Amino acid sequence: MQVLDLITRAATRVGILQQGETLNGSESTDAFNALNDMLDAWNTDRLNIYTVGQAQYALTATVQAYPIGPTASAPFNVNRPVLIQSASIILPGTTIRQPMRIMTSAEFARIKERGLTGVLPDKLYCDYAAPNATLYVHPIPSGTPTLELYAWSALAAFVTLQDTVTFPPGYVEAIVFNLALKLAPEYGQQVDSLIAQTAMGSKQAMRALNAQMLQGAVGTEAETSLPIIGEPQPQVPMVQPGQPGPAQPAQ
């Protein structure tokens, strides 16, 4: 399936097109832009993203800041990370990983001696600027260890209408019906309740599968709430109606 097939199906669902009709040039462009806008918005929520990518980057001795992003000037010339979930330093010449603490902007600003040099950095700060973000390591490495990042793999924007659509199970239906909802108002179309329900249900099913992959194979029954970036959350005891709640500690 190509992107043009995807947006044609969405337009047909809400009556913008009849079966067998095709979008004209300006309509195709509008629908194409709406699709990319929708995918970009979905990237702000972890449960819309189906995988966390792993990548390794060689650090340079005495260098603290490393731009990362799509422009050629970035030493790490890759897609800008949506959100870094975890980071480690790999000891030179080994496969041994030392976890790094990911710092907030406030924590990074409070570092008293930012120019401190050490063998292995144990802290990482990302400013999440765009188009290039900048990674800061602390202390500054005296050697050349390797930085390993696990970051959300964003749903990439399509480039042309002829791009091939490749998504895990459940994504195509969720994209088609939710794109249909997005396109309908632009063409003065009323959305049938069944279309709206399918859009909501298909997206919920997609997110439920991603949530289960976050938890592992245990399934949703084993957790009372879902982590947003893959970290475990404390269990909250369920209280049945008419039963007393958890005992409170003595004052």
Q: Are residues 107 and 170 in the same domain?
A: no
In a domain, 132, yes or no: yes
Q: Would you state the pLDDT for residue 219?
A: 42
The verdict on 77 and 136 lying in the same domain is yes
Higher-confidence residue: 109 or 218? 109
Domain identity same for 24 and 142: no
Confidence (pLDDT) at 180: 95
Both tokens of residue 226?
Answer: 């879902």
pLDDT band at 242 (very low <50, low <70, confident <90, very high): low
225 in a structural domain: no
- Nearest-angstrom CA–CA distance, 134 and 151: 14
- 132 and 60 in one domain? yes
The residue among 180, 183, 184 whose CA lies nearest residue 198 is: 180
pLDDT in tens, 135-166: 999 999 999 999 999 998 888 899 999 999 99
Of the candidates 43, 23, 48, 12, the residue with the CA atom closest to the CA atom of residue 161 = 23
Q: Are 93 and 139 found together in one domain?
A: yes
Q: What is the pLDDT of residues 179-231, one digit of tens each?
A: 999 999 988 888 889 999 999 999 999 999 888 877 664 444 434 343 444 44
- Least trusted range by pLDDT, from 51-55, 87-91, 238-242: 238-242
42 with 63, same domain: the answer is no
Q: So what's the pLDDT on residue 213?
A: 78
Please indicate, yes or no, whether residues 174 and 82 belong to a single structural domain of this protein.
no
For residues 69 and 83, state if they share a domain.
yes
Q: Is the dihedral of CA 65, 74, 55, 119 positive or negative?
A: negative
In which domain, by residue range, is 139 found? 52-152
Residue at 243 is within a domain: no
Structure tokens at 39: 């995918």
Q: Are 21 and 194 in contact (CB under 8 A)?
A: no
In-domain check, residue 99: yes
How many whole angstroms separate alpha carbon 126 and alpha carbon 131?
13
Structural domain ending residue among the three candidates 98, 123, 152? 152
pLDDT of residue 212: 83
Predicted pLDDT of residue 190: 87
The residue with tokens 């959350």 is 233
* Confidence band of 243 (pLDDT split at 50, 70, 90): low
> In this structure, is residue 248 part of a structural domain?
no
User: Which range is least confidently modeled, 18-22, 154-158, 167-171?
Assistant: 18-22
Count of alpha carbons within 13 angstroms of residue 163, beta-carbon side: 15
Percent share of the chain, pLDDT over 90: 54
**pLDDT, average across residues 88-107:** 93
pLDDT exceeds cutoff 60 at 117: yes
Average pLDDT of the residues in 120-147: 94
Average pLDDT of the chain is 85
Number of domains in the chain: 2
Q: Indicate which CATH number applies to the domain containing 9.
A: 1.10.3230.20
Length, in residues, of the chain? 251
